[in-house]
Amino acid sequence: MDLNFTGEELAFRDEVRAFLEANLPTETRRKVLDGLEVSRDETVRWHQILHRQGWGGPNWPRESGGTGWDPVRQYIFEEESAAAGAPRLLPFGLKMVGPVLMRFGNAAQQKQFLPRILSGEDWWAQGYSEPGAGSDLASLKTRAERKDGRYVVNGQKTWITLAHHANWIFCLVRTDPAVKKQAGISFLLIDMKSPGVTVRPITLLDGSHEVNEVWFEDVEVPVENLVGDENSGWTYAKFLLAHERTNIAGVGVSKRELARLKRIAAEEWKDDRPLLADPAFAARVAQVEVELMALEITNLRVLAAEAERRAPGPEASLLKIKGTEIQQALSELMMQARGPQALPLRRGAMSGAYLNLRKTSIYGGSNEIQKNIIAQTILGL
C-alpha cells in the first residue's frame, strides 16, 4: 500500500494551501490557532467563502452539489484547513442530516434543504439526547402525534450543541409507544422558529454557553418534514451516528494541536532545560503522536468506504474511541506544559478547553457503548 501522495494530489494540496492563504480571514485564523472561540458570524462567513469557491460540501457527491472529491482529497482539504486555522465546518448539516437526506430523504426534501446547508443559510442542530435517554437513546420520550396532515410534538431534548444559533433541528421522536422502543421512532425536521419551541441555555463550568435544553410544547410540524417512513427513524439514526462518530475523530484538528503542544513544550523550561527535553514528558508526547498516526490510517479507510457509498461500520466506533482519547490526552499535556498559566477559567483558556473535552468520550455514544459495538460486530461477543 503506497501512502505517498501522487503528483496530482500534491498539486491539489498546493491549490488548497494557496486558497486558504488568500481567503481565510486573518482574525478568524488567529482565534482558531490560539484556541479562542469563533463566533457564529465568523463560522457562517467561512461557509459562504467555501461555497463561492464550490467547496461548500467537501464530503458530498457532485450530484448533490458537493465537490465529488475522493477520500484522499477530502483528507488533504481537512488536514490543510485545520493546520491553517480554518474554523471547523458545522457537522450537523454537512456530516449528519445532509447524508441522511441524500440517502433516505425524498426529492422535495433534498431540493429544499441540501442547497441551504451548502451555502450556510441553514444552521442545523441535532435533537437526539434527552434526560434519561443519552447512551440509551432508544428510551427517548419526546412524542409526535399525527393529526390532520401534521405532527404535534411535545417533549424535551438536552445537551443540544449550538441550538441557540440554529434555525432548524432534526429530531428523533416517538410516534408509536405501543411497539418495542427502537421500532416506534421517527425522524423529523423541525423549524426552530415554530411556535412552542423554546431554547434554554446550559452554562458550563468555564462560563461558556455551548449547549442547551430545547423544549417542544404542542409544536406543529408538517407531515412533509418526516424523513423516510414513519417508525423507521432508528435505522436513519444509526446511519447518522456512524457519520457523527467518524467526524468526532477530528484527526486534522488533533494534528494541529499536537504541533501547538510541541511549540509550547519547547518554550516552557523545567530544571534549566525545555520541557520537551524531559524524557518522561517527551515519551508521553511520542505515544500520542504514534496513536494519532494509526488513527489517521483508520480514518482514510472509513473515507474510502464512504466514497463507495457504504455506511461506516465498526471502524467508526474505533475512530470515535481513539479520536476522543487522543483529544483528551493532548489537552492534559497542554495543561501540564503551561502549568499555573493554564488555570484561569475563561473562554479560550487551556483549562476551559480541558474541561470541555471531557465530554468527547461521552457524546455521540459513550466510549463504553462503542466498545460494546466493536465486541458484538467484530468479535461476535
Average pLDDT over residues 349-377: 80
Nearest alpha-carbon partner for 303 in 88, 86, 37, 99 = 99
Q: What per-residue confidence (pLDDT) applies to 126? A: 96
Select from 168, 197, 232 the last residue of a domain: 232
Check whether 13 has a pLDDT greater than 90: yes
Q: Mean pLDDT over residues 120-140, rounded?
A: 92
The residue that leads in pLDDT, 182 or 207, is 182
Same domain, 13 and 69: yes
In-domain check, residue 333? yes
Tell me what pLDDT residue 246 has. Answer: 65
Shared domain for 255 and 373, answered yes or no, is: yes
Q: Examine the pLDDT at 244 and tell me if it is beyond 70.
A: no
Same domain assignment for residues 223 and 128: yes
- Which has the higher per-residue pLDDT, 380 or 191? 191
Asked if residue 201 belongs to a domain, the reply is yes
C-alpha cell belonging to residue 250: 477530528
Q: Measured between alpha carbons, how far is 214 from 199 in angstroms, rounded to an integer?
A: 5
- pLDDT over 50 (residue 1): no
Q: Is residue 314 scored above 50 in pLDDT?
A: yes
pLDDT tens figures, 17-50: 999 999 999 999 999 988 788 999 999 999 999 9
Domain closes at, from 69, 89, 109: 89
Q: Are residues 210 and 271 in the same domain?
A: no
- Would you place residue 306 in the very low, low, confident or very high pLDDT band (cuts 50, 70, 90)? low
Q: What is the CATH number of the domain that holds 278?
A: 1.20.140.10
Determine, yes or no, domain membership for 2.
no
Write down the pTM of the prediction: 0.85
- Is position 171 within any domain? yes
Q: Which domain holds residue 281?
A: 249-377
Q: Are residues 131 and 201 in the same domain?
A: yes
Do 272 and 364 fall into the same domain? yes
In-domain check, residue 118: no
Q: Summarize pLDDT for 159-170 with one digit per residue, the tens.
A: 999 999 999 999
Give the span between the Cα atoms of 335 and 351, in whole angstroms. Answer: 7
pLDDT at 307: 58
Greatest mean pLDDT range, 33-37, 320-324, 373-377: 320-324
Choice among 79, 230, 244, 257 that is catalytic: 244
Q: What is the CATH number of the domain that holds 143?
A: 2.40.110.10
Q: Are 68 and 5 in contact (CB under 8 A)?
A: no
**255 and 368 belong to one structural domain:** yes
Q: Is 244 a catalytic residue?
A: yes
Does residue 286 carry a pLDDT above 70? yes
Q: Which residues contact 380 (CB under 8 A, 6 or more apart)?
A: none
Q: How confident is the model at residue 75 (pLDDT cuts 50, 70, 90)?
A: confident
User: Is the model's pLDDT at 343 over the cut of 60?
Assistant: yes
Q: Assess whether 260 and 371 both reside in one domain.
A: yes
Residue 267 lies in a domain: yes
Percent with pLDDT over 90 in the chain: 62
Torsion of CA 143, 146, 152, 153, to 10 degrees: 20
Same structural domain for residues 210 and 266? Answer: no
Residue 311: pLDDT above 70?
no
Range with lowest mean pLDDT among 180-194, 214-228, 313-327: 313-327
Residue 162 sits in the same domain as residue 276? no
Residue scoring higher pLDDT (293 or 307):
293
**In which band, very low, low, confident or very high, does the pLDDT at 344 lie, cut at 50, 70 and 90?**
low
Pinpoint the alpha helices (H) of the chain.
7-23, 26-33, 40-53, 71-84, 91, 98-104, 107-119, 233-248, 251-267, 279-307, 315-338, 350-356, 367-377
pLDDT of residue 4: 72
Is 293 found in the same domain as 212? no
d(CA 17, CA 106): 37
What sign does the dihedral 354-360-361-363 (CA atoms) show? positive
Give dist(CA 273, CA 92) in Å, integer.
Answer: 45
Q: Are residues 190 and 307 in the same domain?
A: no
Residue 103 lies in a domain: no
Q: What is the pLDDT of residues 204-231, one digit of tens each?
A: 877 788 999 999 999 999 999 999 999 9
* Residue 355 burial by Cβ neighbours in a 10 Å radius (0-12, 13-18, 19+): middle
**pLDDT higher at 127 or 271:** 127
H helix count then E strand count, the chain: 13, 9
Domain boundary among 176, 197, 232: 232
Select, from the ranges 259-263, 301-305, 338-342, the one with the highest average predicted confidence (pLDDT).
259-263
Say how far residue 212 (Cα) sits from the centre of its chain.
16
Instruction: Note the pLDDT of residue 319.
Output: 86
290 occurs within a structural domain: yes
| pLDDT (0 to 100) of residue 2 | 53
The tally of domains found in the chain comes to: 3
Backbone CA torsion sign across 201, 204, 210, 212: negative
